[in-house]
Amino acid sequence: MNVIFHVDEMEHWAMALGNVRNMLDWLHQNKETYQIEVLANGPAVRAYLPSALADSLSVIMAQAKAEGVVFAACRNALRAQSIEPETLIEKTTVVPAGVVELAQKQQAGFAYIKP
């Protein structure tokens, strides 16, 4: 199963990470292979700064990363908010344009989920 989650507001992170956790649990339980990416653009890229999320959400994100989930940030959104990519938490992928990443993933057959 290939899925891209789209988060564009900070207040949507709790729901998004809960959805990712639930999906991973189901995928593991059903022995399904997967590729999951969580793409943040707009104000939501701030979640990739150290200490930006509540500890409980940071734990879910770290567990998901350990299970192969890709967490990506839009370079345009980072630039717009004066955030340098090297200040982001470990294992955050930076993509040139979030909207292009979303379109490419959908074109490649990824299901789109926006919590």
* pLDDT tens string 70-94: 999 999 999 999 999 999 999 999 9
What structural domains and CATH numbers belong to the chain? 2-113 (3.40.1260.10)
Sequential DSSP letters for 52-80: -S-HHHHHHHHHHHHTT-EEEEEHHHHHH
With a pLDDT cut of 90, the percent of the chain lying above it is 97
**Residue whose entry in the numeric block shows the structure tokens 């707009």:** 42
- What average pLDDT does the segment 27-32 reach? 98
Prediction pTM value: 0.96
* Residue 100 confidence class, pLDDT cut points 50, 70, 90: very high
Q: What is the pLDDT of residues 48-77, one digit of tens each?
A: 999 899 899 999 999 999 999 999 999 999
